[in-house]
Structure 1
Amino acid sequence: ATGCLPGRHELQGNSLALLEGGRLVHHDAGHPDFLQHKRRLTGRALAMPTLAERLVAIGGMILFSNVSPGAAYAHDPDGFGHVYHRAGSYAPGRKRLEGARALTIGQDAEGEQLMTARFIGEALIERSPPLAILWLGEPDATQHLQPLGSARQLASLRQADANAERVIAAVDVLRNRGDDVLLITCSDHGHQTVSRVVDIEAELIAAGLKDSRESADVVTPTSGTATLIYVHPDRADRIAGIGAFLRSRDWVDRVIGPDELAAVGQAARHGLEFAISLKSDDQPNKFGIRGRSVEARPAAGKADHLGCGQHGGLARYEQMPFLMIEGRGFTAGTVTDVPTSPIDLAPTILAHLDQPATGMDGRALQVARAQ
């Protein structure tokens, strides 16, 4: 959405903490109101402009999404474009759309098909904005609930492929009528199989490094196979001990401490002191799919994903999403080993639209390939 790293746009993770009234408060960034809450608290939803804002002068953005509400709304929290989501759809100015104009679907195969059809008919063919985004909830939703390589997980892949095929066919129609389309087909992450679930909060309490489940001295928002650790400024005396404890655990692959956060694109705001990537290995699951990881016990009320798919950390397979680009500036049928990141997508889109990408951390992949 921004082409920037978390330390600059300020959305630190799928789960995070904010200092509110002198107290660390845990938040699920997937909640539909999270970014509006952050705006009320800090004065801004995101600290960097989104593509929706950057493109408003030339026709704007239309997004159809069936992922978490918070993730969808992060593409346009300030209401510059059109966002369609099952939890609520919005026109510019964050004017809520009702009735037939809203996106009333389930997070299931039928909902994905209906959303894809509307995206093609309304966004691509009829309205044709400079930027149109379709963010499918599958196969991610199923992979969190089913073993990787299982029949139901493979069926979700076929479903996603079928919806992508319909979009690709629609893009061919646009090109035949003369539109210069840059088609980007990608995933934002891969998956690991959860081999073990660890209650990090309980471990810190047992070690005397957090007062209790309810205490706000140390907060541990979990993001699947990773966790962020926040320490209240009044308990800075615990930081060194927490770091030493984490580095001694057999469920940790990497501890990124306060002095290293900037190197991974994070920033020590609101008491953030550590980012942890949990233990992983290259062993296969029962269906032969390689890559297993420890999962941090989810927040109360959420189920763990033992034996199923998860992501969030720095293990091999969760960092192996695919990226395919077709259009001007890219040679058909070629494969490149140039390292890429999701933050490269926004500047790549802006380069195609001949718009500046001022202030972005990513770079246009047209330029990267040329170099």
Structure 2
Amino acid sequence: MRRRSAGRLHRPSHKPSRFITRPATLSRPGPRPKIKRAKSKQVKTKQTEPKKRIKPVPSDPQVILVVLDGLRRDFVTAAYTPNLYAFLRENVDYRESRSVFPSMTRVNAAAIGSGCVPGMTGVIANQFYDPKVFADAVFHTGKVSHIEAAMQAYEGRFVTVDGLAESLIAGGKSLAVVTSASGGTTRVLNPRVAENDQVSLCLRDWGSSYPKAFADRVMRDLGALPDLQMPAIAISRCVTNIVLNHVMPEVDPDVAIVWYGDPDYTFHYRGLGSEEALAAMREVDQQFARLVNWARDPARGRDIQILVASDHGHINAVGRVEAGRELREAGFDLDPATGPQRGLLGAPLQVGAVRALQAADKTELLDLVQFLREQPWCGAIFTQGLNGPDGVQDPHGLVPGTLNSSLLLNDHARSPDLFYTLAVGDEAGPRGVPGSGRFVGSELKEGGSTHGGLSSYEMRSVLGAGGSAFRNSVVSTLPCGVVDIAPTVLSLLGIASPPFMSGRVLSEGLAGCDTTALAEPEEELFEAVHASGRDALRRRRLGQHVYVQEAEARRIEGGATRRAS
């Protein structure tokens, strides 16, 4: 592949942490499917990547990061979210932002809280099998009790890397987190919160809040927490009240992460385009406006910079899949409580993650891949790969006709031997919103919504910034993502990012920057052709920084080709 220089981007990106050797037994007679890797294309952008930043760090800076969980980028309109829409028009709109894969909340919360991709954080899915944590159950990262078990199993390093919290402490700065997301989401934003002695308040799991004395004082003022409803109007307002009435005046953190669990929660259970979903978006938009108006008040006395983001998008949930049952009936019982069957265990959920218990069991992946390709509900399939000559990453997966899962930047020691996504298409849902896909899970229902896969509807995220450190009325089309938030926050405070961070400083949006040197982003296309069709993965690269865009699977049925994702 031809690569073009990307200017002065010095921080190294994520590099695959491990590869496995391809056993000779994982092949069968017949021609080897082709892997096509497209040549790079020059992509024209509206913005340049600056050579250097020439404006000093704001005096007495303070950063507020607002996360609107699950907000699709195409829902940021004057009708749905007028305050956010105006903020992005007036400030910097990083329009090509992407989530990390899987496009799930805890996976992306860990990426936001660390500036690292899943292959470095170790938070490789919302739910997955990790025998070091539970030998007979799937590990659920949304549950604080499971997080605590993982922290104990990994001696405090469930999230493997240091994060934003540790970098702030090293720079003499402080962090406070307030969320209406799950206790697990709150925890992965600052996994060693007690050790770091910083504020973390979770309205959906108040007992996990820290420090207890501060949480108790806030609760005495509140009297009681509002019930979680759909839309979560009362609890969203409560988040803002806690931030403005307690956290900012009493703690005065250098960085505050304010995470609203809506509209994600209401999207899931009421569906995209529903009256409840529209009300949820309007409410969090109003709460965002409250924070912006508070920050713009000259009486604040600090130079406040605001970043706003979503962690992933959503698709309409159309067509429930009983993946676990179908796999079990086909001879693949992946449930840790009843398996293993054929040496494979895992979590056949919205994103399937399957692990071979022994090296010899990896041969069973051949039959599993064949079965999955025959299912109309299955999308793209990825298996672990290997290094090529001189350590160059091979796009081939372990199973012929699959792509290397390392291309997803999710190749931690905990990562499975096989990932698969569910089928997704552009078809509109019951209320006319485009982007629909199959879904797994007893909690969701037909007509709700879901996420986790590699469609653009799920991977595309919101990202914007405003304040004295940023330019005005700028739309950046350079590739970027949630991993860039932590390095940018540190830069605003005059702190250098640790060299292991995958993300980069979003300098193209900073005021006073030299934007004359254009760094052309590159398109990367990886394609695996097999007897049943083909799988393709698209990424974008800016220098050494890589952003997964989307995947597509096409299957041949009766001589015709159908899109599976």
Q: In the alignment, is residue 179 of structure 1 matched against residue 293 of structure 2? A: no
Which whole-Å deviations, capped at 9, do the CAs of 1:154-191 have from their partners, x for residues lacking one? 01111111111111111112x55442222011211111
User: Alignment partner for residue 369 of structure 2, among 220, 223, 243?
Assistant: 243
Classify the secondary structure of the residue corresponding to 1:203: helix
Verify the 8 A CA contact 1:253 1:279 in the aligned structure 2: yes
Q: In the alignment, is residue 191 of structure 1 matched against residue 335 of structure 2? A: no
Verify the 8 A CA contact 2:179 2:202 in the aligned structure 1: yes
Classify the secondary structure of the residue corresponding to 2:114: coil
- Shift in Å, 1:214: 1.7
Number of equivalenced pairs = 363
Letter in 2 for 1:50: G
- Shift in Å, 1:52: 1.5
Classify the secondary structure of the residue corresponding to 2:475: coil
Letter in 2 for 1:20: K
- Shift in Å, 1:268: 5.5
Between 232-241 and 149-158, the greater mean CA deviation after superposition: 232-241
Which whole-Å deviations, capped at 9, do the CAs of 1:262-294 have from their partners, x for residues lacking one? 211112634711111211111111221100011
User: Alignment partner for residue 169 of structure 2, among 56, 64, 70?
Assistant: 56
Alignment of 1:319-334 (within 5 A): 319-334=459-474
Q: In the alignment, is residue 363 of structure 1 matched against residue 504 of structure 2? A: yes
Indicate the RMSD between aligned Cα atoms, in angstroms.
Answer: 2.3
Equivalent residue, structure 2, for 1:305 = 445
- Shift in Å, 1:247: 2.8
Equivalent residue, structure 2, for 1:281 = 425
- TM-score calculated relative to the size of structure 1: 0.90
Equivalent residue, structure 2, for 1:112 = 236
- Shift in Å, 1:62: 0.4
Letter in 2 for 1:251: W
Q: Distance in 2 between matches of 1:4 and 1:305?
A: 33
User: Alignment partner for residue 147 of structure 2, among 13, 35, 40?
Assistant: 35
- TM-score calculated relative to the size of structure 2: 0.60
Letter in 1 for 2:446: L
Q: In the alignment, is residue 91 of structure 1 matched against residue 241 of structure 2? A: no
Equivalent residue, structure 1, for 2:551 = none
Classify the secondary structure of the residue corresponding to 2:353: strand
Which whole-Å deviations, capped at 9, do the CAs of 1:70-112 have from their partners, x for residues lacking one? 01111112122210013125436xx575533358523332122
Query: Larger Rg: 1 or 2?
Result: 2
- Shift in Å, 1:113: 0.7
Q: Distance in 2 between matches of 1:210 and 1:99?
A: 46
Return the structure number with greater relative CO, CA threshold 8 A, min gap 6.
2
Equivalent residue, structure 1, for 2:58 = none
Distance 1:230 1:114, change over 3 A: same
- Shift in Å, 1:304: 2.5
Equivalent residue, structure 2, for 1:147 = 271
Verify the 8 A CA contact 2:334 2:345 in the aligned structure 1: no
Between 236-245 and 340-349, the greater mean CA deviation after superposition: 236-245
Q: Distance in 1 between matches of 2:495 and 2:180?
A: 28
Equivalent residue, structure 1, for 2:409 = 265
Q: In the alignment, is residue 350 of structure 1 matched against residue 490 of structure 2? A: yes
Which whole-Å deviations, capped at 9, do the CAs of 1:25-63 have from their partners, x for residues lacking one? 311110012222112112222111121121124231000
Equivalent residue, structure 2, for 1:294 = 438
Equivalent residue, structure 2, for 1:12 = 124
Equivalent residue, structure 2, for 1:231 = 356
Classify the secondary structure of the residue corresponding to 1:129: coil
Distance 1:130 1:268, change over 3 A: closer
Equivalent residue, structure 2, for 1:209 = 332
Which whole-Å deviations, capped at 9, do the CAs of 1:89-144 have from their partners, x for residues lacking one? 5436xx57553335852333212211211112222344321110110011111000
Letter in 2 for 1:91: Y
Equivalent residue, structure 1, for 2:283 = 159
Classify the secondary structure of the residue corresponding to 1:253: strand
Classify the secondary structure of the residue corresponding to 2:144: coil
Verify the 8 A CA contact 2:116 2:503 in the aligned structure 1: yes
User: Alignment partner for residue 478 of structure 2, among 338, 349, 363?
Assistant: 338
Q: Distance in 2 between matches of 1:116 and 1:314?
A: 32
* Structure 1: segments with no counterpart, 5+ residues: none
Q: Distance in 1 between matches of 2:256 and 2:263?
A: 20
Letter in 2 for 1:238: E
Which whole-Å deviations, capped at 9, do the CAs of 1:172-230 have from their partners, x for residues lacking one? 12x55442222011211111001112122222222223377721443332553x22222
Task: Name the % identity.
Answer: 23
Q: Distance in 2 between matches of 1:54 and 1:305?
A: 42
Q: Distance in 1 between matches of 2:425 and 2:278?
A: 23
* Structure 2: segments with no counterpart, 5+ residues: 1-112, 386-403, 520-565
Between 309-318 and 267-276, the greater mean CA deviation after superposition: 267-276
